[in-house]
Amino acid sequence: MNILHLPMLLKKRKWTQVDLEAATGIHRNQLSEYSNNKRTMSLKNARIIANALKCHIDDLYDWKV
């Protein structure tokens, strides 16, 4: 599973990583690492981010079977 949709979801909402940081308390460096697939997002942070973006956790991921 790759986290590919976070940049797209931010763009759709017209948010930056700074906006998401303010809404979630998750540092923008960490959000950048998620966006660039350099760090695996924990379930806890996925819930926080999905809640802030008003989307489902599954919307954050590109699921590969």
CATH code for the domain of 21 = 1.10.260.40
For residue 14, tell me if it sits in a domain: yes
For residue 41, tell me if it sits in a domain: yes
For residue 22, tell me if it sits in a domain: yes
CB 36 within 8 A of CB 10: no
Q: What stretches in the chain show pLDDT beneath 70?
A: 1-3, 65
Of 44, 46, 45, 48, which Cα lies nearest the Cα of 57?
Answer: 46
Phi, psi of 59 (to 5 degrees): -70, -20
For residue 11, tell me if it sits in a domain: yes
Domain count, the chain: 1
Residue ranges making up the domain that contains 55: 6-60
pLDDT of residue 3: 60
pLDDT of residue 45: 96
Percent above pLDDT 70 for the chain: 92
pLDDT of residue 2: 59
pLDDT of residue 28: 95
- The answer to whether the predicted template modeling score (pTM) of the entire model surpasses 0.85 is yes
For residue 65, tell me if it sits in a domain: no
Q: How far is CA 42 from the centre of its chain?
A: 11
